[in-house]
Structures are given as C-alpha cells and as structure tokens.
Amino acid sequence: MIGTLAVSQLAPLEYRAALDAAMPFLMPDKSIVARCAIPELQREVSQRLQAKPADTQVEAALWVEPLVQSWESDLVELDRSLLPGSQLIVIASLPLARLIPERRSWSGDPLCTHLGGLGKLIQTLERANFTPQEKFGFHAPLTAGLNSLSRTLDRLGRLDLADRLGFAARLRYTTAGLFLGLSTVALLVARKVTT
C-alpha cells in the first residue's frame, strides 16, 4: 500500500509518477504479473499492486526496467503468461536517467538507457505481436529548463515569476512524441494481438 515506505526508501519522482500513471491500466479486478529486477523499484511496485505468480495466465503485465542481460528472455516469459488481448505496461529509464543521482547507485544495466534501446524494445514488441498503444515520457526537457529558471529567479528575489515558472514546469512534467526520448523515464503501453 502507498505510504508504507520511509521517505528515504522512495524511488525518484519520475519513477513514482510513471508507476502511478500505469495503475489505471492495471485495474484491481485484473489478474496481473509484475517483473522488476531493480530492488529500489520493486519496493515501489509492491506498494501499488498484488501480482500473480509468473506461471499463471494473466490479463495484464507490468515490466519495470528491462535489463540488457535478460530483456529478451523476460519478454518471452511475459508473452507466455499474457492472454490474447492483454496489456503489457513497460516502465523504462531513458539515457537522461543516468543524470539522476539516486539512479547511479542502482544495480543492473537498463536496456533503454542505451541510445536506441527504446526503439529496439518497441520493434521487438511489434515482432512479438504486441501493438504499442501509448508512449509517455516523464520529467521532460522543458520541465528541467523551467525548474532551473524558476530556481534562478527565486535566488534573485523574483518570487512572483519563480512561482509561475515552477507551476508551468509541473504542468509540463509529461511528454509524448518527439521529445519522449529526451525524458528520463518512459511509460509504454502495448496490447498483445489476438490470434
């Protein structure tokens, strides 16, 4: 349940926001399987949902942080556990996530932190009969720029403008389309094609 972790154990905001955004796709009445190899993110996943064992057929899957070493075999296992028409929700760090201080100490080598990793994942999903439906990025570049400018104006004593820019940054926290690759974390929703 949300709120069971101490503040010092919480994942960075980008990951928490992506997990929160994934929850409507993982409705409580669905049977769900979750796969996450990063302990710092596994705690966040466990707060939000009760997953089924990986050997059962499910209606949805949450895949957090596909790793270079195991992503292809993980995808095969997830594909086997998903019923036709089910949704696969992927949360992945993008190259700019390497700038997040907390992220640097985590174990594993995430696939999508490498240039072209997200594109490779999407192409492989399509070949495995998954249709991408939604793609979102969290902590977009415009957000970072507006936050930086807001902090500068705050130090200069222009609290009126700093507050407005801070609010504008929060409104632009997510992105899609061309700027998705410049975000720090991506959320991808794909549906398994019925055969």
pLDDT digits (tens, 9 = 90+) for 155-175: 888 888 888 888 887 777 777
The residue type found at 164 is R
Domains of the chain: 7-139+180-192 (3.40.50.150)
SS3 (DSSP) at 28: coil
Average pLDDT in the 82-96 region? 91
Element counts in the chain: helices (H) and strands (E): 6, 6
Helix (H) or strand (E) segment spanning residue 166? helix 159-171
Question: What's this model's pTM, rounded to 2 decimal places?
Answer: 0.83
Q: What is the mean pLDDT of residues 7-33?
A: 80
- Quote the CA–CA distance of 193 and 183 in Å, as a whole number: 28
